[in-house]
Copies of this chain bind each other. A is one copy, B any other.
Amino acid sequence: MTEDNTTPSQRRGLSRRRMLGLTGTGAAVGAATFAGGLGVGRATADTVPAGGAMRRYPFYAPHQSGIVTPAQDRLHFAAFDVTATTREELVTLLQAWTLAAAEMTQGRPAQAEETSYDAPPADTGEADGLPASGLTLTFGFGPSLFRDAHGKDRFGIAARQPRELAALPHFPGDKLDPSRSDGDLCVQACADDPQVAVHAIRNLSRIAFGSAQIRWAQLGFGRTSSTSTAQATPRNLFGFKDGTANLKAEEAGQADEHVWVGQRDDPAAGWMTGGSYLVARRINMRLETWDRASLREQETIIGRDRPQGAPLSGGTEFTEPDLAAKGRGGVPLIAADSHVRLAHPHTNGGVRMLRRGYNFTDGNDAIGRLDAGLFFLAYVRRPSAQYVPMQMRMARQDAMMEYVQHTGSGLFAIPPGARDGGHIGQTLFA
Q: Contact at B205–A370, with CB atoms within 8 Å? A: yes
Pick the contact of A30: B125, B129, B308 (CB < 8 A).
Answer: B308
Is A121 among interface residues, defined by CB-CB distance under 8 A? yes
Task: Enumerate chain B residues within 8 angstroms of A118, measured Cβ to Cβ.
Answer: 294-296
Q: Roughly how many angstroms separate A425 CA and B237 CA in the complex, as a whole number?
A: 30
Task: Enumerate chain B residues within 8 angstroms of A30, measured Cβ to Cβ.
Answer: 305, 308, 310-312, 314-316
Q: Roughly how many angstroms separate A368 CA and B205 CA in the complex, as a whole number?
A: 9
Q: A207-243: which residues lie under 8 A (CB-CB) from chain B? A: 209, 213-219, 221-222, 232, 234-240
Interface locus among A134-142, A343-351, A357-365, A416-424: A357-365
Task: Enumerate chain B residues within 8 angstroms of A149, measured Cβ to Cβ.
Answer: none
Pick the contact of A239: B76, B125, B215, B363 (CB < 8 A).
Answer: B125
Is A293 among interface residues, defined by CB-CB distance under 8 A? yes
Q: Contact at B213–A33, with CB atoms within 8 Å? A: no
Give 1 or 0 for each of A286-310: 1 = CB within 8 Å of chain B CB: 0110011111101100000111101
Q: Contact at A361–B291, with CB atoms within 8 Å? A: no
Of the four ranges (under 10, 10 to 19, 20 to 34, 35 or more), the interface on chain A belongs to: 35 or more
Pick the contact of A213: B215, B292, B316, B367 (CB < 8 A).
Answer: B367
Task: Enumerate chain B residues within 8 angstroms of A359, measured Cβ to Cβ.
Answer: 126, 195, 198
Q: Roughly how many angstroms separate A214 CA and B129 CA in the complex, as a whole number?
A: 36
Give 1 or 0 for each of A101-144: 1 = CB within 8 Å of chain B CB: 00000000000000111111101111111000000000000000
Given known pairs A215-B368, A221-B195, A239-B121, the reply for A40 and B314 (CB within 8 Å) is no
Interface locus among A19-27, A88-96, A166-174, A256-264: A19-27
Give A336 Cβ to nearest chain B Cβ, in Å.
Answer: 18
Give 1 or 0 for each of A2-26: 1 = CB within 8 Å of chain B CB: 0000000000000000010011001
Pick the contact of A27: B38, B299, B310 (CB < 8 A).
Answer: B310
27 chain-A/chain-B pairs, Cβ below 8 angstroms: A26-B317, A27-B310, A27-B314, A33-B295, A40-B306, A80-B368, A81-B368, A116-B295, A118-B295, A120-B291, A120-B292, A121-B291, A124-B239, A124-B291, A125-B238, A125-B306, A126-B237, A126-B239, A126-B359, A127-B235, A195-B235, A205-B368, A206-B288, A217-B370, A218-B363, A219-B219, A219-B221
